[in-house]
Amino acid sequence: MLSQTSGVYDGIILGAGHNSLVLQAYLSKAGLRIQESCAWSHEIKLEVD
């Protein structure tokens, strides 16, 4: 099992528009670890039950 801070992801989503966030939600719900990246400096951590 990977730790939450291991830095290993199943995928990377480039962009932070609403479509990217919806995709991130679907993939997270499916159990994949996703890193979101965009042009400005912030990090979004999405947890879906």
Domain boundaries in the chain? Answer: 7-49
| Predicted structure pTM score | 0.58
Q: At 34, which helix (H) or strand (E)?
A: strand 34-37
- Please state, in angstroms and as integers, the Cα–Cα distance from residue 10 to each residue in 33, 35, 40, following that order: 5, 8, 22
Would you state the pLDDT for residue 30? 93
Would you state the pLDDT for residue 17? 82
If you compute the radius of gyration of the chain from its CA atoms, what whole number of angstroms results?
A: 11
β pairing state of 11-14 and 34-37: parallel
Give the C-alpha separation, 1 to 11, whole Å. Answer: 17
Task: Please say if the pLDDT value at position 1 is more than 50.
Answer: no
How do residues 10-46 score in pLDDT, each as one tens digit?
A: 988 887 788 888 888 899 899 998 887 776 555 556 6
